Every structure is written in C-alpha cells, then in structure tokens.
Amino acid sequence: MSLSLQGLPDMLVCNRSHLEDFCQKITKRTAKFNEIEPIVLYAANAWADAANKAYIIKKLDTVQRSFAIKICRAYRTTPLSSLRVLSGLLPLDLRAHENKTLYEIKKGYTACEHLKGAEVEIKTPFCKTSHPATAALEYVILFNEELTINGSSLQIYTDGSKTEEGVGAAISLWKGDIEIKSQKLHLAHFCTVYQAELMALKRAAQLAVQRKETEVLIYSDSRSALDAVVGGRSFDPLVTEIRELLIQHSEKNIKLFWVKAHAGRRGNERADQLAKEATGAKQKPVYDRCPISYVKKLIRENTVQKWVTKQSNETTGVTTRMFLPDPETAYRIVRSKGFNPIMTQILTGHGAFAEYLHRFKIKPSPACECDENVLQTVEHLLTECPIFTIQRHNLEQTAGMRIARNVLPDILAGHRLALENFCERILDRTRRFNGAQTIDKQNNSKDTTKI
C-alpha cells in the first residue's frame, strides 16, 4: 500500500509496524519535534477519527515520547505525562483533532462552536478573482516629499486601529487643506488591525467610485494591506473586493499611496485619531468575519483544556506535579523558555538521585549522603538536606520565603534563575556521590539519549 491521504486510516489500523518503522526513521533524523510534528500530522483531517482508538493513541504516544525525551534531554524512564509538561507538547491525538477542526472550519464544512454565531473569514475561491494580468495595480511610496496635488483632486486618508476597547477603522476625505468628510467604522472585537486597514481601504475605494471627482488619491500607512491589494496573490475577501472595485472602475483615476505613520501628515493623523475613536464605538460592527488566527487561538485554548483534563487523570509524574501542578500554567512557562537537562532531572525526579537509582536497581542503597535512614529524593534535597543549608538559605533570601514543598511552584514561577542555580549545585554533588559514570552508562545503555 502506498502512503496516501485516503490510505492513512487503513495504514494506521493494518500496517502499524510499517508506520512505526517510518516514524522511528524520522526520529533518528531530527530531534526537533516542532519540525517533525507537521509530518506526523500530515492530512490529520483524514485520519483524526482513528485517533480516538486506544491502540492508535498508544502508537502516537510512542512516537511523541521518543521526541519528547530528546527535546527535554530526559532519562528514558521519564513518564510521558512529565515529558509533555516539560516539552510543551500537546498529545498527538488531540493535535490531530485540532487539525481536523481547523480544516473543516477553513473549508466552511462546520461552524466554530466557540464563536457564538460569528462567521469565519473564508478565502475567496480562485475562480472568483480577476486574473492578475487583467489590470496592473500599483501604489506609490511617499516618504517626506510633498506630493503636488491638483486642487480638484479628492484625497482619502485611511487607517485602522486595535486597542483594549476594540477594533476600529476610519477614513478622512480632504480637498486641498480642508477636511470635507470623515467616517468611523467599528469592527468586531476579534478582528485584526490588518482587517481594519483593509476595511478602511475598501470604504475609501467605494467612495472613490461613487464620487464625481475624476482624480482620487487614497492614502494608507499599511504596507502589508497595500502590498496585498496590488499583488493579486491574496485571496483575502476584503483584498479581492478592493481589487475588483479598482479594476472594474479603472476609467476613474484612483491612485494608491503609502505614507509613513505618525510623520506629521495632517490627513493621516486625523484618520489615526478617528480610527482610535472608532474602537470604542457602541454600534453594530460593519465587519464581523472572524480571522483564522483568532479561530486557531480558540481551538488551541480548547485543546489545552482537553489536555488539562487528560493530565488530571494521570497517576504518573508526581514530582513534576510538585513543581508544576497546573498544566495550563506549565504550558505557558515552557513555551516561553524550556528547561535545561539539569532542571529536567529535578522536575521529573528521574536523575542522579539515590532513591531513583535504587528503584531501578542501579544503586544498592536509596539513602542520602546526609543520613542513611533518609531517602535521597528531590523533595528531601531541596527542602531538608543539611548538606545544602547554605545554598538553600541563599535561595530563601532571594525568594523571600522558606523553601517547602508547597511553595516550590511559586519559586519556580517567580525565582527560576535562583532555583536553577540551587539545583545545579545539588546535581553536581549528587552525581559525584552516586557515581556519574555509572548513571550515564546505565541511562545510555538502551537509548541514544544523553544526559
């Protein structure tokens, strides 16, 4: 069977070993899961339903585990629940469902359940756009030089804005040095500044077509919006509407200009001010098509929630939960900055600790260096072990709190660097006490992962 879109569900069910071999080869070639994840999730919309089956989830977990170990540079015994928290990877079965949902929404097969009735901005079909060769549009870049303006020309300045209050756009019509008309446009709260800029350009183009002036100059400070309009390669519905207007009314002398924002040009400053005022307007939005970027954000939030529920049923990864009890917070922390291998050992409990080494029959005694009756666990080393009293005291001074099990999440979130320094000292000592060579040899014996 050749690997095809339609054959993937059957491939997962009937030829798991082949797929597994294929994924293992991929694993050996690259250690970065973010690069390989799109390959594993290729055409997930076709096989996402198969990812509900327990044995398929298990296979996907196996693939993800191999990458997660490499990303975290963790011990091969580390549970997957901990690896996911520390690598910031979401379960592959949930990611497959995420891809399927996004695909269906993009194609218009289904509505986004989180949008409360709002419609998603669907790209204009290729067949409904003008051929790029039918009309060549262009815009002129104006820096500081003044354009010689014919007194009878109509100038329309456009701008878009997004603030905490909402999203707005505005146009300001000028003749000579006098503003003759202006319009504020309010957009739905989830719209982007790019959409606001395009909405202002669209309204300007509509007015330019309706008015009797023979020459209309339209100004915008958005290069991306102008590039999309003149480029002819964008299928954004607003872009295609603007293009169609300009192409169909090519007999009118409508010219596009880019002006630098906040450079003192009166018309542009006025449009900027009006657009900001429009953000907080209490009126029905003139545009409420939801951008795909917002839909992606909503779907990801939903996936993270599903993962949190899944994670709460996990019985493994106790040490990781001691530091990162809330997977949602952990996801944000890890996405901003990953953990080094030393912290991975501390945060998983799978590392150069006597209790762990004894559990896996590498060391005869689980006792700590300080007392033969005390287990050498991560919690003991961080909160009690008298060997590290001075270092612990320094951390307590920095953090302004006594180091105990219940404050470890706060210390990790608020004083990560100081905690990392403390952990480095601990690992340096425990590796020497427990025999670093034995630990590395044991950990590398069945896996290529290096500590």
Q: Which long-range contacts (CB under 8 A, 24 or more apart) does 392-401 make?
A: 392/422, 394/418, 394/422, 395/419, 395/421, 395/422
Q: Provide the token pair at 185.
A: 């446009």
Residue with smaller CB distance to Zn ion, 311 or 391: 391
Q: In what helix (H) or strand (E) does residue 259 lie, and over which residues does it extend?
A: strand 253-259
Backbone dihedral region for residue 131 (phi beyond 0: left; psi -120 to 50: alpha; all else: beta) = beta
CB of 376 to Zn ion, least distance (A): 6
Task: Report the residue number, 252 or 429, with the smaller CB distance to Zn ion.
Answer: 429
Residue 382 as a binder of Zn ion (CB under 5 A): the answer is no
Closest approach, Cβ 112 to Zn ion, in A, equals 54
Establish if 63 lies at the interface with Zn ion (CB under 5 A). Answer: no
Q: How far is the CB of 434 from Zn ion (least distance, A)?
A: 12
Whichever of 272 and 384 has its CB closer to Zn ion, that residue is 384
Bridge partners (DSSP) listed for residue 140: 257
* DSSP letter, residue 340: P
Q: How far is the CB of 394 from Zn ion (least distance, A)?
A: 18
Q: Does 242 engage in binding with Zn ion (CB under 5 A)?
A: no
Structure tokens given for 63? 């693939």
Residues near 91 by beta carbon (within 8 Å), at least 6 away in sequence: 57, 60, 61, 64, 84, 307, 310
Q: Which is nearer to Zn ion, 310 or 359 (CB)?
A: 359
Tallying the residues shown for the chain, one arrives at 451
**Distance in Å, CB of 369 to Zn ion, minimum:** 6
In the complex, the smallest distance separating the C-beta of residue 316 from Zn ion, rounded to whole angstroms, is: 25
105 binds Zn ion (CB under 5 A): no
Site membership for Zn ion, residue 72 (CB under 5 A): no
Tell me which residue of 145, 92, 81, 118 sits closest to 327, measured CA to CA.
81
- Determine if 370 is a binding residue for Zn ion (CB under 5 A): yes
Candidate list 83, 191, 385, 419; residue touching Zn ion; CB under 5 A: 385
Residue among 279 and 376 whose Cβ is closer to Zn ion: 376
When asked if residue 375 is in the footprint of Zn ion (CB under 5 A), the reply is no
Q: Cβ distance 221 to 265 under 8 Å? A: no
Q: How many residues bind Zn ion (CB under 5 A)?
A: 3
Helices (H), 88-219: 92-107, 193-210
Q: Could you give the 3-state DSSP secondary structure of residue 243? A: helix
For residue 352, state whether it binds Zn ion (rule: CB under 5 A): no
* 368 near Zn ion (CB under 5 A): yes
Query: By the criterion CB under 5 A, which residues form the site for Zn ion?
Result: 368, 370, 385
